[in-house]
Chain A
Amino acid sequence: MIRAYGLTKRYGEKTVVRDLTFTVRPGMVTGFLGPNGAGKSTTMRMLLGLDAPTSGRSTIGDRAYASHPAPLRQVGALLEARSIHPGRTARAHLQALAHTHGIPRRQVDAVIDRVGLGEAADRRVKGFSLGMGQRLGIAAALLADPATVILDEPVNGLDPEGVLWIRNLLKSLAAEGRTVFVSSHLMSEMAVTAEHLIIIGRGRLLADTTVERFVRDAGLGEITVVSPEADRLRALLAGPDVRIEAADGRPDTLRVTGADGERIGRTAAAHGIPVFELTPRRASLEEAFMELTRDAVEYVAHDDDPTTPQPTPTSQHATASQGAAT
């Protein structure tokens, strides 16, 4: 379990993470999503006590990370920035970390096996491919069999095989009951691995929701209606809160926003209008993500005074999504 309370980080004048509050629960993969520069890596470094928050605090397993007597047992982390000396062998690197916690040699062998490093374990890290380096980083994260795993952009730069391997690993770690917190700037990646999403843009929380709900919310309520009497139906549905557009080049198709399927169906039935198709449109995750983060970008563009909170589409969206998630 990871909890962040109002985490804020400023580098000089620049606020990189702003008042982030969220909870990451065990037993599932939680995706930490945001465009490049959103503040994901900074947040993760703060969770691990590597960067001190300007304000706010965080706990992992109900305590500040640094106050655990056996920190690696609580949290295994793969950071975005390289954190391995290239002159050591993979085994020596893991063994050096293992010594700090008195982790036995056989556990080092076990994680080397688990990540499939094999014979490469006794080669110097200098000659490792990106994928092998990533496997070594993950081996280090799993070294003490931690309750929580934090991985910063683990699939970056990996080949398809490596990506698949990480996906399956994350799922199995979650299935083992661990808290799994994974960052990515790719919605498509999170869509297939994560169950829960925490989305940030420009250091702000934009959404804290399940993947499923995120997709549904993001559909924007648009429904495609196909009917031979489209014009009549259109007139009947019309209202101040309902927007209806004709589909390009298809006189029998309407795109309705602001009325749900039930209302459209009942209206059609009441007036004896045949309906051939009634399809809620599901936005793709990538579209929904871009929609959300575009708001964040716009927000910043108008944000002349960063210290005054201003009501904007961004903050409303965040509130709505958070409300929905809890």
Chain B
Amino acid sequence: MSYKAKFKVWRGEGGEGKLEDFTVEVNEGEVVLDIIHRLQATQAPDLAVRWNCKAGKCGSCSMEINGKPRLGCMTRMSTFAEDETITVTPMRTFPVIKDLVTDVSFNYQKAREIPSFTPPQGVRPGEYRMQQVDVERSQEFRKCIECFMCNNICHVIRDHEENKPAFAGPRFLMRIAELDMHPYDVADRQESAQEEHGLGYCNITKCCTEVCPEHIKITDNALIPMKERVVDRKYDPLVWLGNKIFRRPK
């Protein structure tokens, strides 16, 4: 059950490089990452690829396969026709270090720009009282494996390098939503989501959701709810008035 597949793999250091052709053996049950490893073992010993768990859990092996961001270790060869040429490139939005390995420090930078969980004054660890329903929503977001494919595919920065300073990307806008929905977080998240982290750049076209290997509904459950919270804070005069008059607890 093995056959020879045609591959085009991006080779190069930094931005410069080109697609190189390979013909390589494929066996039943293999995934794209296996084939990349076979190339390393047989034809291209210096081919660089980042991977770790081979189980879709570490988020290291993000690459683009036939133009779509995918985890190399979770993309089965059986989803391609045997005569299909499979093109493998590094993630487009981040600078390339070598071959398929990109420098994803943009994401670490953005993560650091978000103030961490801020509990109210005077509540000590052990005094938090929450029900399961209060935290359920944000538990979905914690399934994230930080593969950064959502930030990679988001056209706001993928097609517009110049937007990078102003935009945190879906991964970290989701982090802001997670904190804003937390029953015990008191930091301002709404004003800053819009003004500092670029929530307004998102036009809810849902590519982040389409690409997430953990099937997190990033747009529906994090970004749009966060946009609605920003409307409460910044654009809805009635809510503003209501909050002034009643000061309801949330």
Q: Do A and B come from one complex?
A: no
Question: A residues near B, CB below 8 A?
Answer: none
Question: B residues near A, CB below 8 A?
Answer: none
